[in-house]
Amino acid sequence: MDDLSLERIEISGPTLASLIQRVSSSPGDVDGLIFGQIHRILPSNLSDDSPADSVASSSSSSGQLVATFTSFLCSGKTVSFYDPIGRVDSRRISSLGVDSPDRLLGWFSARRKSANRPSMRELAVTSSLSSQFHLPIEDLENPNSTTNMASSVFFLLTTPLTDQLIHTHEYRAYQFRSSNHRVEPRSVGIVNIGPAFRGHYGSFSPKSGFPPLICEFRSSAMNEDCDEGSLSAKKQALNDQKEIEALAEGLQVGDLKRLVGAEAANYTGGIEEMYERMLAKVESLASEVEKSSARVYEQENRNRKLRYRIARTGR
């Protein structure tokens, strides 16, 4: 297996937010596994050079490898699937309930109040993991390709050594290179919805599940307190929910899965049109508020003049 190099590592905004929330809610340092896909993306053929030079450059250039971080599995502790010296135990990984071992992209480590650089043990864990697991490279130009790549991605999250008002977490992504036995930093791209990312969603189909959302169940005493809420507050909440559903115009949470896959381009366009209609409604409401405010101001002026006339007549 060749020691291939990644161009960058991409992660969606919701996945990154879910990971940070999971790390923040943990009582201490944690680690876990990350899942995703590796794509080969061909560079653009547009060039200002002559056609001959353009053909030569395009034929000589190979596609860029991009790793997409789609989900994670947090163990809730450290040294969960490896021993204290960094040797990975595949049986421990199986005991964590990994559904898609063929989509294992690497692992992550979250430390508090420490420097944002890999430790010697984290280097050993990444080396051991990449030697035991690998995943296929998806090539749209050559779908029958069977090239595999080691699970060599390491994602590190830390909190600052001192309390910072600017940010609460720092994160970095690394790739382990077996050729020099080192972890090399890789750029991290945050993928969100928008025109600039339609091509990404159009060529992407998720194979691993979304990260689970941890919900805290309230005690019976707290439930009784909630049941004692006023009827008017419940009616107001119901009315607010109806207004939100009216603005959403039939958009359901379950439909968000259509943001990835073949229907992504059409569906993201529909969402953008829905937002445009919502903005138009907001602008219309703002215009009505301005007009009503102007009428109220005019009425106040009339009332002021009437009071002034009545006061003069009374004298």
Domain residue spans of the chain: 8-202, 228-315
Asked which of 15-19, 133-137, 224-228, 244-248 is least confident by mean pLDDT, the reply is 224-228
Please report which helix (H) or strand (E) contains residue 243, including its range. Answer: helix 231-248
Q: Is the pLDDT of residue 95 over 90?
A: no
The span from the CA of 213 to the CA of 215, in Å, is: 6
Q: Is the pLDDT of residue 8 over 70?
A: yes
Residue of higher predicted confidence among 265 and 121:
121
Tell me the pTM.
0.56
Q: Is the pLDDT of residue 2 over 70?
A: no
- What value does the mean pLDDT take over residues 167-186? 91
HSE-up (13 A, CA, CB side) for residue 296? 6
Q: Quote the mean pLDDT of the chain.
A: 79
Confidence (pLDDT) at 81: 93
For a pLDDT cut of 90, what percent of the chain falls above it?
30
The span from the CA of 5 to the CA of 180, in Å, is: 12
Confidence (pLDDT) at 254: 60
Which residues are CB-contacts of 137 (< 8 A; sequence separation ≥ 6)?
4, 38, 39, 40, 65, 145, 147, 148, 149
Please report which helix (H) or strand (E) contains residue 67, including its range. Answer: strand 64-74
- What value does the mean pLDDT take over residues 282-297? 86
pLDDT tens digits for range 217-236:
444 444 444 555 567 777 77
Closest to 149 measured CA to CA, from 52, 267, 7, 264 = 7
Confidence (pLDDT) at 245: 65
CATH of span 8-202 = 3.40.140.10
Q: Is the pLDDT of residue 193 over 70?
A: no
Q: Let me know if 196 is exposed, middle or buried by CB neighbors in 10 A (0-12, 13-18, 19+).
A: exposed
What's the pLDDT band for 314 if we cut at 50, 70, 90?
confident
Confidence (pLDDT) at 223: 47
